[in-house]
């Protein structure tokens, strides 16, 4: 089977979908995803998406992002993201994304940890699902966009540092070379490599490992964010996130004696460190988060998904504090890209959590992830349209070397883990 597309996008989260929608309908696009199209981490984002609140907010927003990132951010990338935010939000509203509104119909804003003011748009506590499902519905209506579920990228087609497509494998381990002038890796983070993570377990850095195998430049693999508040559970599997905006709206953190022990609105890494220290001091497996200061109305209306999940787990946040514990949440490192999302391999782009453009620095500011994904996904689409096209790739992949998908993926995961440890050792 010999297939050709103008663009192949690996991943069906916010970055991949937005990139596809930004390309003209004359472009034949293939999107691949390992599971169902709606099982990306973008669907799990609770808190919201940031927006610049006018020119008088620029310095504060810029400083908030830089401070959270320990001033290791790429300032040009931060500026580009912030300056693009209003245009991105206008486009999402045009696409019928249903953000919360005030009584007089204006966009409503909430605040989260390490933000100096409310600048976060939201839809209840399922903002990621609202945005990404809207984009997915629109992609499904486009005749030029084909989405193949349960199809795993197991390699890049590459020769002389020019990308010419991907090698994909279906559930029956049938292998398919699929050719394209451009490939976009938008396949998420590395949470599946961790026992405790808020990510889906199948999102485990496959694309990153494949890129590393082909000597694509990577950066800051050891920059891994721990979210301070996930609902404590002894069961295995993905950890349920208690959104940053819960603390932004006034929730408090208590030790085992019901006493506050930290400033809840500090950056995520600082709050996580405080929780770990308190757990060690108290000899406990969790600390307590008290949502009662928010009031019953806010809990039920602003955080209905969190409230319902807590109830199902046996905790009533209207009546009692809930047990929370830090867990792996987000990957600030990844495949090194420029401001147009180009990687070091010609014809290969990366955007979303699998990429590293320097926006987040060493620690991501809350609710910058969806915005950053959309801004740089659009940049990738525009560069494919208006940038200089690479020479054709002349590679002929040897399909006999792809036999067992699970063995291949384990190898790629090991490459990522070794890369993380190597970078940690260089600190």
Predicted pLDDT at 237:
78
| CATH 3.50.50.60-classified regions of the chain | 3-223+332-425
Consecutive H or E run containing 289: strand 287-290
Distance (Å, rounded) from C-alpha 10 to C-alpha 5? 13
Neighbours of 236 (CB within 10 A): 8
Which pTM value belongs to this model? 0.94
pLDDT tens for residues 303-359? 999 999 999 999 999 999 999 999 999 999 999 999 999 999 999 999 999 999 999
Phi, psi of 185, deg, nearest 5: -90, 110
How is 54-92 classified by DSSP, letter by letter? Answer: SGGGHHHHHHHHHHHTTT-S-HHHHHHHHHHHHHHHHHH
| CATH 3.90.700.10-classified regions of the chain | 226-328
According to DSSP H, which parts of 95-147 are helical? Answer: 127-140
> What angle, 0 to 180 degrees and rounded to 10, lies between the N-to-C axes of helices 14-22 and 369-386?
30
Predicted pLDDT at 415:
96
348-350/334-336 β-pairing: unpaired
pLDDT tens for residues 141-177? 999 999 999 999 999 999 999 999 999 999 999 999 9
pLDDT tens for residues 81-129? 999 999 999 999 999 999 999 999 999 999 998 999 999 999 999 999 9
- Dig out the tokens for 249 from the structure: 């709206």
Q: What's the CATH number for 226-328?
A: 3.90.700.10
DSSP state of 106: P
Question: Which whole number is the average pLDDT over 2-30?
Answer: 96
CB under 8 A, 24+ apart: contacts of 298-302: 298/249, 301/124, 302/110, 302/122, 302/124, 302/125, 302/245, 302/249
Question: Residue 321, CB half-sphere, CA atoms under 13 Å: how many?
Answer: 20
Distance (Å, rounded) from C-alpha 158 to C-alpha 134? 34
Residues marked active site are found at: 268
What Å distances lie between residue 136 and 43, 48, 297, CA to CA? 10, 18, 31
Predicted pLDDT at 312:
94
pLDDT tens for residues 170-228? 999 999 999 999 999 999 999 999 988 999 999 999 999 999 999 999 999 999 999 99
pLDDT for 232 beyond 60 = yes
When the candidates are 3.50.50.60, 3.40.50.10090, 3.60.10.10, 2.70.70.10, the CATH number that belongs to 3-223+332-425 is 3.50.50.60
**Among 386, 377, 415, residue whose Cα is nearest residue 13:** 377
Q: How confident is the model at residue 283 (pLDDT cuts 50, 70, 90)?
A: very high
Q: How confident is the model at residue 1 (pLDDT cuts 50, 70, 90)?
A: low
End-to-end CA distance of the chain: 47
Q: How confident is the model at residue 427 (pLDDT cuts 50, 70, 90)?
A: low
Predicted pLDDT at 110:
94
252-254/218-219 β-pairing: unpaired
Q: How confident is the model at residue 235 (pLDDT cuts 50, 70, 90)?
A: confident
Report the mean per-residue pLDDT for the chain.
Answer: 95
Write the secondary structure of 145-197 as one string of H (helix), E (strand) and C (coil): EEEECCCEEEEEEEECCEEEEEEEECCCCCEEEEEEEEEEECCCCCHHHCCCE
């Amino acid at each position: 089977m010999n297939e050709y597309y103008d663009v192949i996008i690996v991943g069906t989260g916010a970055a991949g979908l937005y990139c596809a929608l930004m390309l003209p309908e004359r472009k034949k696009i293939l999107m691949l995803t390992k599971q169902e199209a709606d099982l990306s981490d973008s669907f799990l984002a609770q808190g919201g998406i940031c927006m610049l609140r006018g020119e008088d907010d620029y310095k504060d927003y810029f400083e908030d992002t830089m401070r959270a990132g320990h001033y290791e951010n790429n300032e040009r990338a931060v500026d580009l993201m912030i300056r693009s935010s209003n245009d991105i939000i206008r486009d999402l509203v045009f696409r019928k994304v249903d953000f919360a509104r005030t009584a007089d119909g204006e966009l409503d804003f909430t605040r989260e940890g390490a933000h100096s003011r409310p600048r976060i748009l939201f839809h209840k506590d399922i903002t990621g699902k609202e945005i990404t499902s809207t984009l997915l519905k629109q992609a499904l209506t486009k005749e030029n966009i084909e989405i193949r579920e349960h199809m795993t990228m197991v390699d890049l087609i590459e020769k002389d540092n020019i990308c010419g497509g991907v090698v994909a494998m279906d559930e029956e381990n049938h292998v398919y070379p699929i050719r394209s002038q451009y490939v976009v890796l938008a396949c998420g983070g590395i949470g599946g490599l961790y026992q405790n993570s808020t990510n889906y377990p199948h999102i485990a850095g496959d694309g990153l490992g494949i890129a590393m195998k082909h000597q694509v430049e990577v950066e800051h693999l050891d920059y891994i964010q721990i979210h301070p508040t996930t609902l404590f559970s002894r069961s295995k599997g993905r950890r349920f996130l208690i959104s940053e905006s819960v603390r932004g709206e006034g929730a408090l953190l208590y030790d085992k004696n019901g006493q506050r022990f930290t400033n809840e609105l500090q950056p995520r890494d600082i709050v996580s460190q405080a929780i770990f220290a308190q757990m060690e001091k108290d000899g406990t497996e969790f600390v307590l988060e008290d949502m009662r200061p928010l009031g019953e109305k806010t809990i039920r209306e602003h955080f209905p998904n969190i409230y319902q999940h807590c109830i199902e787990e046996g905790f009533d946040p209207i009546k009692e504090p809930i047990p929370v514990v830090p867990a792996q949440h987000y990957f600030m490192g990844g495949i090194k890209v420029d401001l147009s999302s180009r990687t070091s391999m010609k014809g290969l782009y990366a955007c979303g959590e699998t990429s590293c453009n320097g926006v987040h620095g060493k620690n991501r500011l809350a609710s910058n992830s969806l915005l950053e994904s959309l801004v740089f996904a659009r940049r990738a689409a525009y560069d494919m349209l208006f940038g200089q096209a690479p020479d054709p790739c002349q590679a002929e992949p040897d399909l006999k070397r792809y036999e067992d998908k699970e063995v291949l993926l384990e190898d790629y995961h090991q490459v990522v883990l070794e890369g993380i440890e190597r970078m940690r050792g260089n600190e």
